[in-house]
Structure 1
């Protein structure tokens, strides 16, 4: 009997080990500080601030979970400082593709403004949990730069946002709060890639403008409410 038990353990352990190894993400990326835009009041979203070189060559959109107290602090901060559109978080260092998974958590400092460009720290050591990974793409150096003006549209029935879809340098980052037809386009989806009525890959002017977007050859109206972030330099 003891021999059979030992034999069973011997057979099982390699199977467990191999199963765990399948879930390890193999990457040559090094641990780094991966700054993110943070926004939203009904739900809290984060957008990894990308570049076209390792280890920052990822476009990622997350839904985050904060404690009620820390979520309330961030919402009140936005309401009290309406002249500011940009808020960022400075996370602890980690290997990005190994961190980005539903349920993972990390510690961040919260800034009004860009944390590397004179932003003001308003909270330290906040724990955030990844509730959902809404968009994840690693840039390919040989991918042809997009000639269309496409955006990633996401959000909920209370708030909607869109982020410029990046492909290859040179490009630009633009994050905009919008008013989109939620039930017709977004409901039940994490993200939707839409085309704008712009004829080239260019920045959208934002001042309450109404534009036309296309999805599966169907056109919809959308209102641009507020620009949260615009960046050229990091994506040259």
Structure 2
């Protein structure tokens, strides 16, 4: 039976929006609405750090900044980016081989630098770069690659003590035939999840080539109830429109960084 949405708390939950190591909090003067909705909120994050990311997508290419609850890593961010020719060849080869996870370890930079045209240089990994992953093309010879930021799709400052949500929320983005949903973290403990979704709803037209759309699901906001491959569920847009989804692939799931404070 498909999971259905409830409308309870939609306005509070749907205001939408990759591992990093470093320590800085968002300025108290930045409002929640601005943190969630505007890339300019990142202007407060000026310390440099290694901001590891999940790489996913085929038609489009996306980076998910792996967040933590505190410091300069306390941001959920999704970036649409282009990859240089050598890097794209490495990435496409991994995807074609069925690799379950590709991550990116960039050279240190400040999140405030994330604007269209900004270049991120570093190494691609088969698997998680901090959890036993191996650099591409091999463990012995890692090639440096370069991503160029095209736009920021999702930007959300994390606060571990924010009110607990009634149900799970996702930001959906992409294009026809290749939709993705990123779980929006709300309160510790929580979880990271990136889903590849199938949907033929015309209501997703606003998510094409834009910052995506917030979608609420009638699922408890905990890892054990998350939608998995093959799950059919119905999402609710902010205007009340119901959109059916089927999960095609779980691009990433983890409770390691967001599972506690």
* CA distance in 2 between partners of 1:154 and 1:231 (Å): 20
Aligned to 1:223: 246
1:182 deviates by: 5.9
1:29·1:54 contact (CA, 8 Å) conserved in 2?
no
Aligned to 1:194: 215
CA change 1:28–1:63 in 2 (3 A) is closer
SS in 1 for 2:109: coil
CA change 1:128–1:153 in 2 (3 A) is same
Aligned to 2:103: 88
CA change 1:182–1:77 in 2 (3 A) is farther
1:114 aligns with 2:128: yes
Task: Give the count of matched residue pairs.
Answer: 209
* CA distance in 2 between partners of 1:26 and 1:92 (Å): 19
**Two-structure CA RMSD over aligned residues (Å):** 2.0
- Structure whose CA Rg is larger: 1
SS in 2 for 1:229: strand
TM-score (norm 2): 0.74
Unaligned runs of 5+ in 2: 1-39, 138-142
Bigger relative contact order, structure 1 or 2 (CA pairs below 8 A, ≥6 apart):
2
1:217 deviates by: 1.7
CA change 1:227–1:141 in 2 (3 A) is closer
1:146·1:167 contact (CA, 8 Å) conserved in 2?
yes
* CA distance in 2 between partners of 1:168 and 1:79 (Å): 36
Unaligned runs of 5+ in 1: 1-22
CA change 1:95–1:88 in 2 (3 A) is same
1:208·1:225 contact (CA, 8 Å) conserved in 2?
yes
* CA distance in 1 between partners of 2:43 and 2:212 (Å): 26
| Runs of 4+ residues over 4 Å off in structure 1 | none
TM-score (norm 1): 0.82
